[in-house]
Each structure stands twice: as C-alpha cells, then as structure tokens.
Amino acid sequence: GEDVEQSLFLSVREGDSSVINCTYTDSSSTYLYWYKQEPGAGLQLLTYIFSNMDMKQDQRLTVLLNKKDKHLSLRIADTQTGDSAIYFCAESSTGGSYIPTFGRGTSLIVHP
C-alpha cells in the first residue's frame, strides 16, 4: 500500500476555507511537507512542519499535525482562484534515507 495517502479532489467556493488532508504510515517521519503544483509545472514547496510540532501557521496557510494518528492537514483561508492547483503531501525520515515520499496529490478546484 501507499505510504502517504490523500483524497484526489476538493472543490470549494472562492472565499471559503479549504482543508486538504493527508495520512502517512511511517512513524519515524521527521519532516512533513506540502507542495503545490500548478498546471504543466514542477512542484514548489508551500510549507513544512517538523514532526515535533503540532501546528504551523504561515499567512493564509495553517498546517496541523496529529502525530498519534499520523494525520496532516493543510488549511487555506480565504481560498482564491489562484489557489487552484494540485497539492501534494510528502514525508521524509532518516530511516528512509531522507528520500521524500509523496502522496497522489489533491486537486483543489476553486470556483466563484
């Protein structure tokens, strides 16, 4: 099975909050990441969180980590049409030779 799982699609209305969820299986995960991929482009890091943190906030982005349940979420406040993209959850750990493992990506569609 996959090491990192996330739902494939999320549709929200402009101005609402978006919450993208992710679960992972590696209990030794050290860093957890959220990447954004715009159409036809590579991935860019949005934010990351250390495994010893519960929450990280960066402007409109809030990352929540429940280490016990191995659950990570990304909340985007006041979602805009420019936020429409694919969002990838990823994790890396010392045990995994630091190689990032990605989820399948969640396509966020923001409609007016």
Partner 1 sequence: SQTIHQWPATLVQPVGSPLSLECTVEGTSNPNLYWYRQAAGRGLQLLFYSVGIGQISSEVPQNLSASRPQDRQFILSSKKLLLSDSGFYLCAWSVGGSNTEAFFGQGTRLTVV
Binding site for partner 1 (CB under 8 A): 8, 30-31, 33, 40-45, 48, 88, 90, 92-94, 97-105
Q: Compute the least distance from the CB of residue 95 to partner 1, in Å.
A: 11
Give the C-alpha separation, 88 to 101, whole Å: 10
Q: Which are the contacts of 61, defined by CB distance < 8 A and separation ≥ 6?
A: 34, 46, 47, 74, 75, 76, 77
Beta strand pairing status for 9-13 and 106-111? parallel
Tokens for 19, please give them: 């919450």
83 vs 88 by CB, closer to partner 1: 88
Q: Compute the least distance from the CB of residue 101 to partner 1, in Å.
A: 7
Q: Compute the least distance from the CB of residue 93 to partner 1, in Å.
A: 7
18 vs 106 by CB, closer to partner 1: 106
14 vs 84 by CB, closer to partner 1: 84
Contacts of the segment 47-55: beta carbons below 8 A, 24+ positions apart: 47/74
Tokens for 48, please give them: 């990351």
97 vs 112 by CB, closer to partner 1: 97
Q: Compute the least distance from the CB of residue 90 to partner 1, in Å.
A: 8
